[in-house]
Chains A and B, each alone.
Chain A
Amino acid sequence: MKATAFWAVALLTVAAGCGDPKSGDGAGPAAGGAGDGPIKVGVAGPLTGGQAKNGEDLLDGATMAVEEWNAKGGVLGRKIEIVTRDDQAEPKLAPAAAQQLVSERVVGVIGHFNSGSTIPASEIYHKAGIVTITPSSTNEFVTDRGYPDVFRVCGRDDRQAPAASNFIVNVLKAKRVAVFDDRTAYGKGLADNVEKGLVGKVEIVFHEGFAKEERNFRPYLSKLKDANVDVWYFGGIYEQAAPMVIQARQLGITAPMMSGDGVHGYDEGFLKVCGKDCEGTLTTFPFTSADFPEKYRSRFSGKSPGPYAVFSYTAAQVLIGGVSKAGAADGPSVAKAIHSNTFDTPIGNIEFDAKGDIKERPEGSYLVWVVKDGRHVLYSGR
């Protein structure tokens, strides 16, 4: 009896799936939002899970831009609507989220957050003719595949790393350097490139990697203490950088930490948490305008923006601006419009190169910042 019921349910489920009206009318996936309804913009990133804070920044930034456009009456006479999908920062969930956004017929996607998710997801968007603009995936490979509809508004690891290594060699004139990374595509990629830039110019005492879940850094830091370095580089994000800096000071290490965009700007998670301990910490980060945080705070009742909120806002501005300039809401023409126009954004006037990266400025896209009195300020000598 029970077995029969099981089979009946199983068959009914399959039958019901066949008749699902939601996407059953057989239209191709590349429809891109033609028609009179609102233009749909996808936002995909870690809305839950260990990196949910980053996903929140992503969504907030995009929301701000969309609200501004809608207040002006939308684009092409149509309102803009955000569709969100969660990938939990897990590469294994990213393709499913991407497929769902494709079936929602978004014109473009702001996301994903992590390089590990953006790479497989953008394969799917590319096939469906949907524009991908990642606000935060810095791995070179994201744009090196040469897809015409994949863009990024943040920097690339191979631009960020030279900024750091040149600074260590030429400005700090350090002699002994240690390198740590968190074994992720982002952290290790960055640290490896920094190491490449340092080899032969300074003595690299060691290069160590640990799990991104690690929170007790004493085993590595006691090695660092014995190594007596001038500066240590960490390829990773603020969640580990904060306890690492605190524990380093507890062990009596005075050499400053240097890190990248994963640490910069997380006021709540890094600067406030470390307090006095992170004074002198060096970071590399692109230029951003000073009035964006104010705008953000007034929109989200005093909440401080995470470092990527501004890039997500920029990505949304570029995407919607592209739709407006293309005069059509289909992926390929929007991609063409983004390639051939200049956009005025909080990170400056930006243009895109053939790969889909921002064209590099003469002073370089990454600047070196230092923590002084609890704030990141541009480095200007000791």
Chain B
Amino acid sequence: MTQSRLVRLVLASVAAFLLSWPFVALGADERTGFTVTAWPALQVALLVVVSGLAFWALIEMKERWPAAAAPLHSAPRRAMSRWAAPGALFVALAVYPLFRPPADPMLGLVLDTMTFATIAVGLNITIGMAGLLVLGHAAFWAVGAYTFVLLTVHFHLNFWIAFAASGASAAVVGFLIGLPALRLRGDYLAVVTLGFGEAVRWVLKNEQHVTGGDAGIPGSEIRGNLWEPQGFLGDWLWQPGSGSDVLRECYWFALGLLAVCVLCVTLLSHSRLGRALFALREDETAARCMGIDTVRIKLIAFTSSAMWAGLAGVVTAEYRGSISPDLFDFNMSVLFVAMVVLGGLGSVWGSVLGATLLWTIPVLLQDFFPDIQRFRMLAFGAVMCAMMVVKPDGLLGKKGSK
């Protein structure tokens, strides 16, 4: 061990001690006193040395780690083979409920995951393709869910009309919040969308006479209207939830929506418009110089990604049977962004993968290790951080995207 390494080890030990000191050895219980939680000096000293070593090893390792991921080389393939694997996955997911008992919690988990994957794929249009950071995406989800529930409960509209209206209303709100985006760049836009998301949640919370306030719109109040076919052509059109098995019907509905969403966004990313979006992300000024109408493109990105979140909100409301404002909080917005970034910016299947990992990991940790479920969020945060460090461009992202 050379001198400098020794010095670094000592420094690391001191740092590790400072990091752990207030929390492992001490805790203030009341406001006038404090307790030393049974840690004899020897144990503390041992802890310092061990954590120092671990910390030092971590830093050494970090510097040697090849942080960059290999670029994804995908040779152009024929359309047939390009859709073969997703098709197989779709079929597998579609038949999956047939092999499970009717009220299986796994179905609910997969359903939620598919809903969030829809939202993440939609959000990928703004964040991944156009490069506009949105930190309030849960608001569009909320607008869709609330529009749907209010229309079916108060106005007794048919499911499909309410479904379309929810997507449309979220799209309109997306358009409106896209307007300031025309002037703002980067983090300024991020904080405006963040504020917008919180504002929507507070409106839902405070306008109790319409939205039910913090308790939201509870299940049994909306149940009949939500799941019974009603309104225009209500007797002829199938709708999810009208049969005996609400969970499975919602599951297939969510799967269908995800499939359509993935298809549309994939086609979009290969289209002229998609290429224009990528150009906008790489360099806005250059894109404008090349004759791309950046104003129009930004608004399209905002509107379409908000629409997918709104449609996903319908699935959420239909499956849960009750909604409340805290469902749509800032943490969910952040989680959506994390899904997109973790999966890889601009990669449609990356968003699906990101949604799957980030939504199922905490739930599965609880399911398989119920004894240590207290620690699962700790593990989740560490995994999230580690995945980013190991694959900075996202799991399926292309290297070099900004």
Contacts and interface: CB of A to CB of B under 8 A. Distances in A.
Interface stretch (B9-17, B39-47, B89-97, B265-273): B89-97
B215 A11 contact: no
Interface of A: 2-4, 6-7, 10-11, 14-15, 17-18, 20, 23-24, 26-29, 47-48, 83-86, 90-92, 95-96, 99-100, 102-103, 115-116, 119-120, 123-124, 127-128, 139, 141, 145, 183-185, 188-189, 209, 268, 272-273, 275
B327 A92 contact: yes
B353 A103 contact: no
Given A102-B105, A123-B220, 4 more contacts: A18-B99, A24-B100, A91-B326, A102-B103
Interface string B309-342: 0000000000011101011000010000000000
Nearest to A184: B214
Contact of B96 (A6, A17, A102): A17
Given A11-B92, A29-B101, A128-B103, A116 B215 contact: yes
A23 B88 CA distance: 25
Given A90-B326, A116-B215, A23 B366 contact: no
Interface stretch (B18-26, B106-114, B182-190): B106-114
B31 interface: yes
Interface string B207-227: 010000111101110000000
A97 to B, nearest CB: 8
The 5 closest A-B pairs by CB, nearest first: A99-B105, A185-B215, A7-B85, A14-B92, A18-B99
A312 to B, nearest CB: 18
22 contacts: A7-B86, A11-B88, A11-B89, A17-B106, A23-B104, A29-B101, A29-B103, A48-B373, A48-B376, A48-B377, A91-B216, A96-B112, A96-B363, A99-B103, A115-B215, A119-B215, A119-B219, A120-B320, A183-B213, A185-B324, A188-B214, A272-B30
A373 B106 CA distance: 53
Given A6-B353, A47-B373, A96 B320 contact: no
Contacts of A20: 106
A120 B105 contact: no
Interface residues of B, number: 53
B349 interface: yes
A258 to B, nearest CB: 21
A83 B373 CA distance: 12
Contacts of B89: 7, 10-11, 14
Contacts of B326: 90-92, 116
A85 B101 contact: no
A76 B21 CA distance: 50
Nearest to B92: A14
B74 interface: yes
A28 B102 CA distance: 8
A209 B101 CA distance: 45
A107 to B, nearest CB: 16
B205 A183 contact: yes
B299 to A, nearest CB: 31
B370 interface: yes
Nearest to B29: A268
A275 B110 CA distance: 50
A28 B100 CA distance: 11
B195 to A, nearest CB: 14
B206 interface: yes
A96 B104 contact: no
Nearest to A128: B103
B349 A6 contact: yes
Contact of A48 (B332, B374, B396): B374
B63 interface: no
Contact of A185 (B32, B85, B214, B363): B214
Contacts of A120: 218-219, 320-322
Contacts of A139: 215
Nearest to A124: B103
A127 B223 CA distance: 14
B52 to A, nearest CB: 29
A275 B74 CA distance: 68
Task: Give the one of A24, A27, A92, A273 with max B CB within 10 A.
Answer: A92
B80 interface: no
Given A119-B218, A185-B214, A23 B101 contact: yes
B106 A185 contact: no
B370 A273 contact: no
Nearest to A115: B215
A26 B93 contact: no
Contacts of B86: 7
Contacts of B106: 17, 20, 23
A342 B101 CA distance: 37
A273 B33 CA distance: 11
A84 B205 CA distance: 30
B363 A141 contact: no
A280 B367 CA distance: 46
Given A17-B106, A18-B96, A91-B326, A86 B213 contact: no
A84 B371 CA distance: 9
Task: Give the one of B96, B104, B206, B370 with max A CB within 10 A.
Answer: B104
B398 to A, nearest CB: 11
A327 B1 CA distance: 71
Contacts of B363: 96
A90 B362 CA distance: 14
Contact of B370 (A10, A15, A84): A84
B289 interface: no
A103 B215 contact: no
B315 to A, nearest CB: 14
B214 A183 contact: yes
Contacts of B88: 7, 11
Contacts of B205: 183
Given A91-B326, A120-B320, A6 B396 contact: yes
